[in-house]
Structure 1
Amino acid sequence: MKIAVLPGDGIGPEVTGEAVRVLEALGLPDLELTFADVGGAAYKAHGHPLPAATLDLARASDAILFGAVGDPDCDNLERALRPEQAILGLRKELGLFANLRPAKVFAGLEDFSALRPEVAGAIDLLIVRELNGDVYFGDKGIETLPDGTRRGWDMMSYSEAEVRRIAHVGFRAAQGRSGKLCSVDKANVLETSQVWRDTVIAVAADYPDVELSHMYVDNAAMQLVRSPGQFDVVVTGNLFGDILSDQASMCVGSIGLLASASLSEGTLGLYEPIHGSAPDIAGKGLANPMATVLSAAMLLRHSLGLEDQAARIEAAVARALSDGIRGADLGGNHGTVAIGSAIVERL
């Protein structure tokens, strides 16, 4: 079982270090972990945020455990050399088209949400976001008009094949949960969304055991705050998914607890916490590694098929939280290593 570990920038090395400790504590045979540079660290060492050697390692691995990218020292580089291009490059080169972002409130942490505790406590959802299309990857440009002012443009588009592929992921995810899938679009004003909705409806015929509903994105944003417990699995496009998944994470109360997976059509996946590189606390031992540890659990489940081990990690994290092991993001005083040690002890 070959895992590429790409710590990246900021707190990335600290949190991935604890996730690696947890993986190693499981005592899995044939687990091979190989480290490589990515992001700003890779640019400083190799002149590019995604060096060829790192990409080759990722291609040769069964899964990728990713830390975070982002370095203020690199903010003035040309866009193609900025740290964030590493994650975009990995998605493109490895065909990582489906992002899974679970959001669930752990028992006892309801008060950390901005929502009322009884509303927050009902959150247990999964957002399935398409990653390789939409305005992020469409034609774009900036032009100067005759009057000397500038106009920017970005093309939003989805083909039926692109929508069909992500829709299958959403329906299969719903089958593994409570059998409810909500497709989010803006079909009342966008032709791209009309193609999206028509295609999702067509795919639904293959999943008679899943209840399909549709919701416009503006209403979905409102409902995530008003009544998030109504959602089980949400499938949506790149732009809408980017916004809604971050909103859902804040409804939970702390981004230090939220994992994510980016999957290909095979079993290869990239697993990362959603919190970013947090350069302001990097190197201080303050970062909460739980999101990265939970990302490692997703890695075991989705890429290696090790459901029991994934569940063990998730249970250990939940037990640590219930025992009062909390980082500063949750009002506690436990540091990165202490939290990692607490999770390992509870395995």
Structure 2
Amino acid sequence: MRAKIVVLPGDGIGPEVTAEAIRVLEAVARKGGHVFELSEHLMGGCSIDRHGTALTPEVLAACQASSAVLLGAVGGPKWDDPAAKVRPEQGLLGLRKGLGVFANLRPVRVHPALVDASPLKADRLAGVDLLVIRELTGGLYFGQPKGREEKDGHVRAVDTLEYHDYEVQRVVELAFRLARGRRRKVTSVDKANVLESSRLWRQVTSAIGAANPDVALDHMLVDTAAMRLVAAPASFDVVVTENMFGDILTDEASVLAGSMGMLPSASIGAGGPGLYEPIHGSAPDIAGKGIANPLGTILSAAMMLRHSLGLEAEAAAVERAADAAVTDGARTRDLGGTLSTRAMADEVLRRLAS
């Protein structure tokens, strides 16, 4: 296997955790006889500092020409002025749109050895193994018009929540396909009692459910889903929802795993390169200290091996190595341990080699 992988370390702890994921990818390549051509580029706040924009056309073109993209994290206090015209997150949104990745996959599984790391009671965490699929290129984050206007001494801000039926259809159909490889249950999350866009979402989803009777479908309002994620998380299998709801619910779901540092994600489309990143942010408070948990990024690289490169055996091997490291007591500070970012990755690499 020969693949071109673009690495966007980004800001904060992004360069630290992506460096460890690169070490894992290089080990996989050596062991399996693969050739991974890795190239690093600026994106996010570091790109604003250098180029005045969060994502240059040249970097986007490199990503579009790649087999897959590995991203660290973007943003930080330095670029956090709400009035700024250029923000790091614009690079992330532009990258998602430019790659055509419309579905963000976020698996949430509670490792038995980390039950005590979660604030939830152990009995509520038993059997938790869910997959959240978040629609990624529609909704409030991309709706037009948006902006501000001043009138009569007051400021009016506008964001538009917009969905087309085909945007809903493609992400929900993906949810049903993936559910067939799991427990064959899809929960669609919306706010159909209030929002017209959610009523369209529910209508399209219901039609897909009727055409796929081998997969159970239920609809849930987002406020109920937020409650059930902490009250009965094991009741979920595949959850599919719109952009902003998915953004919020997956951060809530990270509490189940004990730390946001544990959770990977994959953003995929109908074809072309996928985008892989941990769900955590840039964590500027610990950047440069060498204590960030690299597992979310390492497991994102495993998802890359599976979904973009078609290397299922290699992906599973990385996941087993990470699981074994945690089972054997390897912990970074977010998990109550003392291992550095590099030492945690060393534990994974040692088990991957064996």
| TM-score above 0.5, yes or no | yes
1:140 alignment partner AA: K
- Paired with 1:75 and 1:244, the residues of 2 have a C-alpha distance of 23
- Paired with 1:61 and 1:226, the residues of 2 have a C-alpha distance of 42
Query: Is residue 2:221 matched to residue 1:219?
Result: no
Map Cα deviations across residues 79-137 of structure 1 (whole Å, 9 max, x no partner): 44222211111011111211111111111111111110111233210110111111111
> How far off its partner does 1:186 sit?
1.2
> How far off its partner does 1:168 sit?
1.1
Q: Given that residues 267 and 302 in structure 1 are in contact (C-alpha distance below 8 angstroms), is that contact kept between their aligned partners in structure 2?
A: no
1:20 alignment partner AA: I
- Paired with 2:85 and 2:276, the residues of 1 have a C-alpha distance of 23
- Paired with 1:89 and 1:217, the residues of 2 have a C-alpha distance of 27
Q: Pairwise mapping of residues 129-208 of structure 1 onto structure 2 (< 5 A)?
A: 129-138=134-143, 139-146=145-152, 148-208=153-213
Query: Is residue 2:343 matched to residue 1:338?
Result: yes
TM normalised by structure 2 equals 0.94
Q: Given that residues 110 and 118 in structure 1 are in contact (C-alpha distance below 8 angstroms), is that contact kept between their aligned partners in structure 2?
A: no
Aligned position for 1:104:
109
Aligned position for 1:236:
241
- Closer/same/farther in 2, CA of residues 218 and 43 from structure 1, 3 Å limit: same
Aligned position for 2:310:
305
Aligned position for 1:316:
321
Q: Given that residues 123 and 252 in structure 1 are in contact (C-alpha distance below 8 angstroms), is that contact kept between their aligned partners in structure 2?
A: no
Q: Structure 2 regions of 5+ residues with no counterpart?
A: none
Aligned position for 1:273:
278
1:127 alignment partner AA: V
- Paired with 2:277 and 2:134, the residues of 1 have a C-alpha distance of 15
- Paired with 2:182 and 2:134, the residues of 1 have a C-alpha distance of 17
- Closer/same/farther in 2, CA of residues 337 and 297 from structure 1, 3 Å limit: same
Q: Given that residues 180 and 210 in structure 1 are in contact (C-alpha distance below 8 angstroms), is that contact kept between their aligned partners in structure 2?
A: yes
Q: Given that residues 190 and 222 in structure 2 are in contact (C-alpha distance below 8 angstroms), is that contact kept between their aligned partners in structure 1?
A: yes
Query: Is residue 2:266 matched to residue 1:249?
Result: no
Q: Pairwise mapping of residues 18-29 of structure 1 onto structure 2 (< 5 A)?
A: 18-26=20-28, 27=30, 28=32, 29=34
Q: Structure 1 regions of 5+ residues with no counterpart?
A: none
Q: Given that residues 102 and 125 in structure 1 are in contact (C-alpha distance below 8 angstroms), is that contact kept between their aligned partners in structure 2?
A: yes
> How far off its partner does 1:313 sit?
0.5
Map Cα deviations across residues 189-217 of structure 1 (whole Å, 9 max, x no partner): 22111110110111224433211111111
Q: Given that residues 79 and 85 in structure 1 are in contact (C-alpha distance below 8 angstroms), is that contact kept between their aligned partners in structure 2?
A: no
Which of 57, 62, 83 is matched with 2:62 structurally? 57
Structure 1 residue matching 2:166: 3-state secondary structure: helix
Q: Which runs of 4+ in 1 moved over 3 A?
A: 76-80, 143-146
> How far off its partner does 1:279 sit?
1.2
TM normalised by structure 1 equals 0.96
1:13 alignment partner AA: P
> How far off its partner does 1:47 sit?
2.6
Which of 46, 51, 68 is matched with 1:46 structurally? 51
- Paired with 1:85 and 1:193, the residues of 2 have a C-alpha distance of 25
- Paired with 1:32 and 1:239, the residues of 2 have a C-alpha distance of 34
Q: Given that residues 64 and 272 in structure 2 are in contact (C-alpha distance below 8 angstroms), is that contact kept between their aligned partners in structure 1?
A: no
Q: Given that residues 69 and 274 in structure 2 are in contact (C-alpha distance below 8 angstroms), is that contact kept between their aligned partners in structure 1?
A: yes
Map Cα deviations across residues 243-294 of structure 1 (whole Å, 9 max, x no partner): 1111111222100100011112114210001111111111111111000000
1:22 alignment partner AA: V
- Paired with 1:81 and 1:188, the residues of 2 have a C-alpha distance of 36
- Closer/same/farther in 2, CA of residues 228 and 310 from structure 1, 3 Å limit: same
2:26 alignment partner AA: E
Q: Pairwise mapping of residues 76-87 of structure 1 onto structure 2 (< 5 A)?
A: 76=81, 79-87=84-92
Structure 2 residue matching 1:81: 3-state secondary structure: coil
- Paired with 1:19 and 1:126, the residues of 2 have a C-alpha distance of 22
Q: How many pairs are equivalent? A: 346
- Paired with 2:9 and 2:150, the residues of 1 have a C-alpha distance of 41
> How far off its partner does 1:141 sit?
2.9
- Closer/same/farther in 2, CA of residues 280 and 245 from structure 1, 3 Å limit: same
Instruction: Tell which deviates more after alignment, 66-75 or 127-136.
Output: 66-75
Map Cα deviations across residues 7-47 of structure 1 (whole Å, 9 max, x no partner): 11111111000001011111241221111111112222233
Aligned position for 1:327:
332
- Paired with 1:124 and 1:79, the residues of 2 have a C-alpha distance of 40
2:231 alignment partner AA: R
2:310 alignment partner AA: G
